[in-house]
Amino acid sequence: MLEDIRSELGDTTRAPASQRTRTAEVLKRARESHKPVEVTIDGNTIEVPFGATILDAAQQLGIRIPTLCYHEDLCLAGVCRVCVVEIEGQRTLQAACSYPITVPIKVQTHSPKVRRARRHIIDLLLGSHYGECYTCSRNNYCELQRLAAEYGVDCFRFGHLSEPRFEIDQSSHALVRDMNKCVLCRRCIRTCIDLQEVGVLEAIGRGNRTKIATFMDKPLAEVICINCGQCINRCPTGALRANDPTDEVWQAIDNPKKHVVIQTAPSPRAAIGECFGLEPGHAVTFEMNTALRRCGFDRIFDTNFAADLTIIEEGAELLMRLKRALVDKDESVALPQFTSCSPGWVKYIEHFYPEYLDHVSSAKSPQQMFGAVIKTYYAQLNGLDPKDIVTVALMPCSAKKFECNRPEMCASGHKDIDFGLTTRELAKMIREAGIDLLGMPKSDFDDPFGTATGSGVIFGTTGGVMEAAIRTVVELVTGHKGEDLFEHAEVIPVRGFEGVRYAELPIADVGPVPELVAHLFDDWDWLKGVTLKMGVCHGTANAKKVMEDIKSGGKFSQCHFIEFMACPGGCLGGGGQPGPTSPEIRAARAKAIYAEDRAYTVRKSHENPAIVQLYKQFLTDGPCGQKSHHLLHTHYMARGKYIE
């Protein structure tokens, strides 16, 4: 039977997505058509579905088998052999992560033969691994280091590289590649090809000449890398890391002539506690504020404020596009409108679907909007010279480092955001300052950007941008409270971790045009009876599915608004978040984010008093006006026309 399945599957080692889908379907049919199989592991017996792996069975029994190339998010590889086990009656050891159980078997996971083999495998990996652990960015968090300690490796039995074999690639603003630390587990390849379907990395060469490389071995900055950092999150060693600016941030803090402000996004606050021993799912927002002050930052602001600002600008832009399509009958209007707050997604569409760039919202991301506002409005309020303000952004995302270095992101006349920090990097700074994060007293954000809403918080999870937009657009158009349509104003249809989601929202009646957008619209009569169609997807593999559906004229081509997030789970699964990552960890972080949303008194972006004040005092021509175009958009959209 196993031979029949293999025959039907063919070679799947380098299979495209369509074949991998067929593989899953074939295996599913096989499991459904066969009875459970009995397996005995270390004397413990359990029945498992036909085709389940030995590693699956061991996990159900609570038996730990060490792994290195295996990852819950990725397809099986079985290349490192650290997880080898002994099967009764078989001469050779087998990889537990990829051995399918199709007949009853007896397995030993720590026999003398198994322990000796694992020790030799780890010794061999260390023999081709260059560098000292104490100078490595992954020191104390390295999976190879942990395995070496676990198996008593106290010397280099097969030698050790005395000189690096490869140059370190520091060409990217987002990522650094040091292949001298690579153990050829191929997690990065499977992440880039299978999980994200970008395909920047591949194994080249054979035997001891094998290495992980880009196309024609070019630097990362010269290939189609989208900077999402998902490869970093799954690399077990220090071969991949984010481009760390913490030394420059410390220099700015220590310079008395500089006014250093930091904005903190919701996802890092829901995850940074993991770096200090907390289980996933605990937000430490206000403890972190105190820690940041003790680090020396002059002001701590809430990125949720800028997320609310993004909703106002992006929502107004969507309504303008709809008016052009429904009232003016302008067939050139680019619908559906795509979100623009994920820089990894923006880079993805630039590389793979450039013909659809007009569909991307002209609104900048919250990070970049905030930088522009700080170096203009905030500078004026406080009598500061923008050149003396240093803006730092705490983000869950390595692509944010690339975004803040894009040449167009200087609307204030200065670089909008000077430095992007990941969650991991800020944790390092807090430890370096000798601060016990979990023991910090709570303190609030600073004004005038300390006021935010629940809508800003939920930006941190997939579906959050769409939900925040619905909360605001529905109230602006219908005049009814979101709570009248959705219990607790929570738009459940766009929540969840399905790769792609679709929802519809009928507009039964309309209300008067609020003052906030009265400069753009006279009435909403043209929206009465319209059903808004929306899509949500996370991870660029899912983005590809949606884009291909749009190209073929499918369901998503009929949408009005689609949220795209480059990372699995959205920002909470970003490439700058603490490791490890898994579906369960991402779900726990989402739970923390939604709990914060419920704790806010104000939960809709247009009700944020700080946003209202900003438009009254500074952005006086309103959303999508000339001033907001200059500062908050990459293009200007006014009365149905783009103005460069």
pLDDT (tens digit per residue) in 278-323: 999 999 999 999 999 999 999 999 999 999 999 999 999 999 999 9
Give the pLDDT mean for 523-550: 97
Give the pLDDT mean for 118-128: 94
Strands 240-242 and 259-264: unpaired
Least confident of 126-140, 432-446, 564-578: 126-140
Q: Is the pLDDT of residue 642 over 70?
A: no
Does residue 231 have an active-site annotation? no
The secondary structure of residue 456, as a DSSP letter, is H
State the SS3 of 509-521.
CCCCCCHHHCCCC
Distance CA(627)–CA(439), nearest Å, equals: 43
Strands 202-204 and 105-108: unpaired
Does residue 167 have an active-site annotation? no
Q: What is the pLDDT of residue 635?
A: 56
- Which member of 571, 596, 604, 624 is catalytic? 571
Residues 6+ apart with CB under 8 A from 17: 194, 197, 541, 544
Residues 6+ apart with CB under 8 A from 232: 175, 240, 241, 242, 398, 575, 576
Q: Tell me what percent of the residues of the chain surpass a pLDDT of 90.
A: 86
Q: What is the pLDDT of residue 531?
A: 96
Q: Is the pLDDT of residue 6 over 50?
A: no
Q: Model confidence over 333-346: pLDDT tens digits? A: 999 999 999 999 99
Q: Model confidence over 488-504: pLDDT tens digits? A: 889 999 999 999 999 99
Contact 144, 162 (CB under 8 A): no
Does residue 403 have an active-site annotation? yes
Query: pLDDT confidence of 113, banded at 50, 70, 90?
Result: very high
Least confident of 382-386, 392-396, 447-451: 447-451
Domain spans of the chain, in order of start? 1-33, 120-242, 250-305+367-439, 308-358+453-643
Distance CA(307)–CA(261), nearest Å, equals: 17
Q: Is the pLDDT of residue 485 over 70?
A: yes
Does residue 361 have an active-site annotation? yes
- Which member of 314, 467, 490, 596 is catalytic? 314
- Which member of 143, 287, 403, 467 is catalytic? 403
Give the pLDDT mean for 406-412: 92
Q: Are 250-305+367-439 and 308-358+453-643 in the same CATH fold? A: no
Distance CA(296)–CA(254), nearest Å, equals: 8
Does residue 410 have an active-site annotation? no
- Which member of 317, 425, 563, 596 is catalytic? 317
Q: What is the pLDDT of residue 226?
A: 97
Q: What is the pLDDT of residue 369?
A: 97
Contact 309, 620 (CB under 8 A): no
Distance CA(502)–CA(410), nearest Å, equals: 36
Distance CA(183)–CA(351), nearest Å, equals: 29
Q: What is the pLDDT of residue 208?
A: 83
- Which member of 228, 275, 295, 341 is catalytic? 341
Residues forming beta bridges with residue 505, ordered by sequence position? 532
Does residue 25 have an active-site annotation? no
Q: What is the pLDDT of residue 60?
A: 96
Q: Name the CATH architecture for the domain at 308-358+453-643.
A: 3-Layer(aba) Sandwich (3.40)
Q: What is the pLDDT of residue 21?
A: 56
Contact 20, 6 (CB under 8 A): no
Q: Model confidence over 16-48: pLDDT tens digits? A: 555 555 556 666 666 666 899 999 999 999 999
Q: Give yes or no for a cis peptide into 580 (omega within 30° of 0).
A: yes
Fold of 250-305+367-439: Rossmann fold (3.40.50)
Contact 169, 180 (CB under 8 A): no
Chain centroid to CA 210: 30
Q: What is the pLDDT of residue 132?
A: 86
Q: What is the pLDDT of residue 489?
A: 86
Q: What is the pLDDT of residue 25?
A: 67
pTM of the model: 0.92
Decide which of 27 and 3 is more confident.
Answer: 27
What integer best gives the mean pLDDT of the chain?
A: 92
Does residue 604 have an active-site annotation? no
Query: pLDDT confidence of 4, banded at 50, 70, 90?
Result: very low
Would you mind telling me the total number of residues written for the chain in this entry? 644
Does residue 235 have an active-site annotation? no
**In this structure, which amino acid lies at residue 173?**
H
- Which member of 172, 267, 342, 361 is catalytic? 361
Residues 6+ apart with CB under 8 A from 16: none
Decide which of 451 and 355 is more confident.
Answer: 355
Task: Give the DSSP H/E element, type plus range, for residue 562.
Answer: strand 561-565
The secondary structure of residue 384, as a DSSP letter, is -
Sheet holding 561-565, edge to edge: 337-338, 561-565, 531-538, 500-506
Measured CA angle at 315 (ends 311, 318), to 5 deg: 145
Query: pLDDT confidence of 11, banded at 50, 70, 90?
Result: very low
Q: Is the pLDDT of residue 228 over 50?
A: yes
Which CATH code, of 3.30.70.20, 3.90.226.10, 3.90.1010.10, 2.10.10.90, is assigned to 120-242? Answer: 3.30.70.20
Cα torsion at 593, 595, 599, 604 (round to 10°)? 50
Task: Give the DSSP H/E element, type plus range, for residue 149.
Answer: helix 143-150
Q: What is the pLDDT of residue 644?
A: 40
Contact 528, 507 (CB under 8 A): yes
The secondary structure of residue 628, as a DSSP letter, is H
